[in-house]
Amino acid sequence: MKYLDEYRDPAAAQRLLAEIRKTATRRWTLMEVCGGQTHSLLRHGIAAELEGTVELIHGPGCPVCVTSQVDIDFACELAQREDMILASFGDMLRVPGSERSLLDVRTAGGQVQVVYSPLDAVRLAQKNPQRQIVFFAVGFETTAPATALAVRQAERDGVQNFSLLVSHVRVQPAMESLVKTPDHRVQAFLAAGHVCTVMGYESYESFVERYQLPVVVTGFEPLDLLEGILACVRQLEQGQARLENCYARAVQAAGNRAARDLVQEIYQINDRTWRGFGVISRGGLELRPEWSHFDARLRFEKSELPVLENDACRSYDVMTGQLKPTDCPEFGKRCSPDSPLGAPMVSSEGACAAYYRYAMPVDHTT
């Protein structure tokens, strides 16, 4: 943990805050792409410290928030079937589909098992040969290699009762879709460090060139974030748009070659529906045809239930930086972690949940 403490040093943070304030001659609007960064910025009070200097807007970087309701509904349906166990990461459990969450289904007797890694789901299948185990494979490129590994392991061990409901999403197409909207407010991006750890950042070269926006690869600790913000502000002040890596201790230009190869071997890129965004071109991953025997969508028939979108939730506006969570008329009123209207409030990485958790509430008693 000493390694982390170095990146949480209060004195160094104050120096960087001062440097950012000194460098900025006007108020700049930066988007942090990843939900983990949103939480860190709010938890450590960085967003509040920079108010008036830098406006931090929160991007689409919470894979749980953008998982489509159709997929959650299908997962719920599978969990209710006899002789089946739906395995999922914990933070997917509370996210509502059209009507119910996996937690609701579990309470009603459905088989939902929390796992900590996709390989746990393979082990679950080996321990329960009489049941079908479906792993709800959610996440960005960060978690895709681990689920790819699970597929390869299941193949190697001849595990017949294991399959994946793949809902992996790709972060860069979402950024592209965002900057193509005419009214977007992003002046620079803090790129998601974890995703770049796997995928590298070479592919951002053409992105920066095309859209003329600075992209700075940024980590998650306070000093990482402050250095990333400072790098963005410096570029903006100098009228530049470059790709920079401020997370060099974890991220290489080419990423993690072995993990990338694994993802390449098991998945192919597809168009994917993002919750709140609609279909994003090349925005997801699906199993390659040679691995389709692990595809739960092909293995199990899905009933065609209508998807009931909740129009009270303005998740799209929040996840594109158009609306600050605390400015949403439902925030803290009809929408709270106890009774969320949409995924950004219920997911542990969601922007609304971050504000609910870390922003000091307004005193209504005085």
Partner 1 sequence: MTEREGKSQGGWQLNCPVSLRDYAECVTLAHGEGGRLSRKLIQDRILKILQPVASQSLDDSTRLPHSGQPLAMTTDSFVVTPLFFPGGDIGSLAIYGTVNDLAVSGARPRWLTLSLIIEEGLPLAVLERILESVARAAGETAVQVVAGDTKVVPRGAVDGLFINTAGVGELLEPVPPGPAQLQAGDELIVSGPLGQHGMAVMAVREELGIEPLPQSDSGSLYPAVEQLRLTLGTRIRCLRDATRGGVAAVLHEWAEVCGKTLSIEERTLPVTPEVRGISELLGLDPLHIANEGTMLLAVEQGVAAEAVAQLQMIPGMERASRIGVVRERGVAPVTVQRTLGAEQPLADPLGSPLPRIC
Query: Which stretches of the chain bind partner 1, using CB under 8 A?
Result: 1, 4, 8, 10, 13-14, 36, 43-46, 48-49, 63-64, 89-94, 114, 116, 120, 138-140, 142-143, 194, 222, 337-338, 348-349, 357-363
Give the nearest distance from C-beta 72 to partner 1 in angstroms: 14
Give the nearest distance from C-beta 212 to partner 1 in angstroms: 30
Helix (H) or strand (E) run with residue 281 in it: strand 278-287
Taking the CB of residue 288, how many other CB atoms lie within 10 A of it? 14
Rank residues 17 and 232 by Cβ distance to partner 1 and give the closer one.
Answer: 17
Spatial separation of the C-alpha atoms in residues 348 and 97, rounded to whole Å: 16
**Which residues are CB-neighbours of 178 under 8 A, at least 6 positions away?**
31, 59, 60, 184, 186, 320
Collapsing DSSP to helix, strand or coil, 305 comes out as coil
The full length of the chain comes to: 366
Give the nearest distance from C-beta 16 to partner 1 in angstroms: 11
Give the nearest distance from C-beta 36 to partner 1 in angstroms: 7
Whether the Cβ atoms of residue 356 and residue 345 lie closer than 8 Å to each other: yes
Give the nearest distance from C-beta 45 to partner 1 in angstroms: 2
Q: Provide the greatest CA pair distance for the chain.
A: 66
Show the tokens assigned to 41.
């910025």
Rank residues 146 and 241 by Cβ distance to partner 1 and give the closer one.
Answer: 146
- Give the dihedral sign, CA 248/251/257/259: positive
Give the nearest distance from C-beta 1 to partner 1 in angstroms: 5
Spatial separation of the C-alpha atoms in residues 183 and 146, rounded to whole Å: 37
What CA–CA distances, in Å, run from 316 to 142, 182, 222, 279, 351? 23, 15, 27, 13, 11
- Laid out side by side, the sheet with 112-114 consists of 112-114, 84-88, 132-139, 162-168
Rank residues 50 and 154 by Cβ distance to partner 1 and give the closer one.
Answer: 50
Rank residues 120 and 176 by Cβ distance to partner 1 and give the closer one.
Answer: 120
Rank residues 63 and 200 by Cβ distance to partner 1 and give the closer one.
Answer: 63
Give the nearest distance from C-beta 304 to partner 1 in angstroms: 28
Rank residues 39 and 184 by Cβ distance to partner 1 and give the closer one.
Answer: 39
**CA neighbor of 173 nearest in space, from 58, 29, 284, 319:** 284
**Region at 52 (left for phi over 0; alpha for psi -120 to 50; beta for the rest):** left
Rank residues 137 and 318 by Cβ distance to partner 1 and give the closer one.
Answer: 137
Give the nearest distance from C-beta 142 to partner 1 in angstroms: 5
Spatial separation of the C-alpha atoms in residues 215 and 190, rounded to whole Å: 6
Rank residues 194 and 314 by Cβ distance to partner 1 and give the closer one.
Answer: 194
